[in-house]
């Protein structure tokens, strides 16, 4: 079998096992990772590069910062303040989604989720509302908010780079033409539909059998530790927002914050290790190997070219738009949205040049489609980060995410031809 065929087999295996859940998701991811190495599809060194990926480093550091907030009781204190302004779980969910979406416009989706997870856990404990009904809307809102600006999501920057090479570009906030309506509709979806589909799992932060918990202690915590944990969080957030200005990457800012907390003994070394969710690390790092194999062997490109080829040279603009959206949505739920955009942007540019379509229109469809990563826990880092703390199963994402994806595709089919028509002269 060719490397491309082997990769496709592992992709099918991963989809089936993730949906079936007879094995832990992290175990399935590692089977794929090891299998790609043993089969020779990826060199052994490259197959495990996911464990030193910058997102994995960011995960670990932010879990420690979040752990400090919870260990010191500051997350509960913040939660108490927030819950004073909300009288119901539904209102709280709505407020969190709006805040998350706006934050994601100027901060990475992953950074936004990493900062808000401990806050939401504190809110959940303080209010008694189920964390499972707050974390998923937040994670999805962080993805939707990424479409509000050029820096909102890495895939926006990837597409911009490809577009600039062809002599075109998007304005900084031009993404918001589609992004704002999608965020609003996403919030309304959860208010009227998604809220009813969310899993109802009782909070169990004191349960030792829980996969990933922050511990609460009966011993009084010095107030200085609470305020130091809060100050470190705010400083980390500031550094992330002004990443380009200060020249320090997100994961490095998070590492500095985590180290300060451990050095000052705000959180002990043991507590820091316990705060890191190993399931998330193994799941994310393992699936990165699959994404790399899809890209390196050309399997992902083969899928894209085959589907696009079915349309023929005289494809209807609406059919072409729908195809690009469906293809992007399908790939982005099993590859990172950045990898999906990197894979499909050059293909989309070729399609535009071949058919005489507007490259900006085709690539905006790629942006929108690659951001619809709602159906799996591996679609975005934010989805992965909430998996254990929300005690979700694979099916919980599909139950809420698939209807949301269908709605987003329908909305995009209306909005894209208005703001970014494929054939402006028609």
Question: Per-residue pLDDT for the chain (426 aa), expressed as one digit of tens each?
Answer: 899 999 989 988 887 887 676 888 789 889 999 999 999 999 988 899 888 888 788 878 888 888 888 788 887 777 677 767 677 889 999 999 998 898 888 666 777 787 788 888 888 887 888 899 999 999 999 999 989 987 677 778 778 877 887 788 888 789 899 999 999 999 999 999 999 999 876 655 444 334 344 444 455 788 899 999 999 988 987 887 787 788 888 789 989 999 999 999 999 999 899 888 787 788 778 877 887 888 788 887 777 677 667 766 666 788 888 988 998 898 888 877 777 787 777 777 777 777 778 889 989 999 999 999 999 998 888 898 899 889 899 899 999 999 999 999 999 999 999 999 988 765
- Does residue 178 lie within any of the structural domains? yes
- Does residue 39 lie within any of the structural domains? no
Residues 295, 148: Cα–Cα separation, whole Å: 27
Nearest 10 degrees: CA dihedral of 393, 395, 398, 400? -70
Residues 114, 236: Cα–Cα separation, whole Å: 11
In this structure, how many other beta carbons lie within 10 angstroms of the beta carbon of residue 261?
A: 27
pTM, two decimals, is 0.74
What burial letters (b/e) apply to 353-371, b meaning 16+ CB within 10 Å?
eebebbbbbbbbbbbbbbb
pLDDT, position 39: 94
As a whole number of Å, the end-to-end CA separation of the chain is: 46
- Does residue 221 lie within any of the structural domains? no
Number of domains in the chain: 1
CA distances 42 to 18, 32, 105, 273, 332, Å, are 22, 11, 35, 30, 21
DSSP type of residue 220 = P
The parent domain of residue 146 ranges over 74-216+298-419
Residues 361, 2: Cα–Cα separation, whole Å: 35
Helices (H), 310-371: 317-332, 337-355, 359-370
CA distances 207 to 119, 202, 211, Å, are 19, 11, 9
Residues 321, 327: Cα–Cα separation, whole Å: 10
CA distances 109 to 53, 138, 226, 311, Å, are 16, 10, 26, 34
Please choose, from the candidates 95, 282, 257, the residue with its C-alpha nearest in 3D space to the C-alpha of residue 187: 95
- Does residue 353 lie within any of the structural domains? yes
SS3 content of the chain, % helix, strand, coil (to 5): 75, 0, 25
Q: Which residues does 95 contact at the CB level (< 8 Å), separation at least 6?
A: 82, 85, 86
CA distances 26 to 21, 133, 198, 206, 280, Å, are 10, 23, 23, 23, 7
Residue listed under structure tokens 């998604």: 194
Residues 101, 149: Cα–Cα separation, whole Å: 11
Residues 261, 63: Cα–Cα separation, whole Å: 12
Both tokens of 361, joined, read 């229109």
- Does residue 22 lie within any of the structural domains? no
Both tokens of 344, joined, read 């499909």
- Does residue 262 lie within any of the structural domains? no
- Does residue 315 lie within any of the structural domains? yes
- Does residue 365 lie within any of the structural domains? yes
Residues 53, 291: Cα–Cα separation, whole Å: 13
pLDDT, position 315: 64
Q: Which residues does 293 contact at the CB level (< 8 Å), separation at least 6?
A: 3, 7, 10, 36, 41, 42, 299
């Amino acid at each position: 079998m060719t490397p491309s065929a082997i990769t496709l087999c592992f992709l099918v295996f991963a989809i089936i096992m993730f949906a079936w859940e007879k094995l832990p998701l992290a175990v399935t991811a590692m089977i794929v990772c090891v299998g790609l190495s043993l089969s020779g599809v990826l060199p052994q060194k490259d197959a495990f590069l996911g464990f030193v990926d910058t997102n994995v480093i960011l995960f670990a550091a932010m879990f420690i910062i979040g752990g400090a907030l919870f260990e010191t009781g500051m997350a509960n204190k913040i939660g108490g303040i927030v819950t004073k302004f909300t009288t119901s779980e539904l209102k709280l969910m709505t407020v969190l989604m709006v805040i998350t979406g706006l934050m994601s416009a100027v901060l990475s989706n992953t950074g936004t989720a990493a900062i808000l997870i401990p806050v939401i856990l504190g809110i959940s404990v303080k209010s008694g509302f189920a964390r499972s009904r707050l974390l998923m809307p937040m994670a999805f809102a962080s993805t939707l908010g990424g479409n509000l600006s050029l820096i909102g999501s890495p895939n926006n920057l990837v597409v911009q780079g490809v577009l600039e090479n062809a002599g075109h570009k998007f304005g900084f906030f031009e993404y918001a033409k589609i992004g704002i309506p999608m965020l609003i509709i996403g919030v309304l979806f959860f208010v009227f539909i998604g809220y009813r589909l969310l899993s109802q799992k009782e909070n169990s932060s004191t349960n030792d059998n829980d996969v990933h918990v922050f511990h609460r202690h009966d011993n009084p915590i010095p107030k200085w530790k609470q305020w130091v944990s809060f100050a470190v969080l705010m400083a980390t957030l500031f550094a992330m927002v002004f990443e380009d200005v200060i020249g320090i990457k997100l994961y490095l800012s998070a590492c500095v914050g985590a180290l300060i907390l451990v050095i000052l003994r705000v959180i002990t070394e043991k507590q820091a290790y316990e705060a890191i969710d190993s399931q998330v690390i193994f799941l994310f790092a393992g699936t990165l190997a699959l994404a790399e194999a899809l890209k390196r062997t050309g399997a992902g490109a083969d899928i894209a070219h085959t589907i696009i080829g079915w349309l023929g040279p005289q494809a209807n603009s609406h059919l072409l738009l729908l195809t690009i959206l469906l293809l992007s949505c399908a790939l982005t739920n099993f590859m990172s949205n950045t990898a999906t955009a990197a894979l499909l942007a050059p293909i989309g540019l070729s399609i535009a040049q071949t058919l005489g379509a507007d490259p900006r229109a085709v690539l905006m469809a790629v942006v929108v489609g690659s951001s619809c990563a709602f159906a799996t826990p591996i679609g975005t880092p934010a989805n992965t980060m909430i998996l254990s703390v929300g005690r979700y199963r694979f099916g919980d994402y599909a139950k809420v995410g698939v209807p949301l994806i269908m709605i987003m595709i329908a909305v995009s089919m209306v909005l894209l031809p208005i703001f970014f028509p494929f054939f402006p002269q028609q």
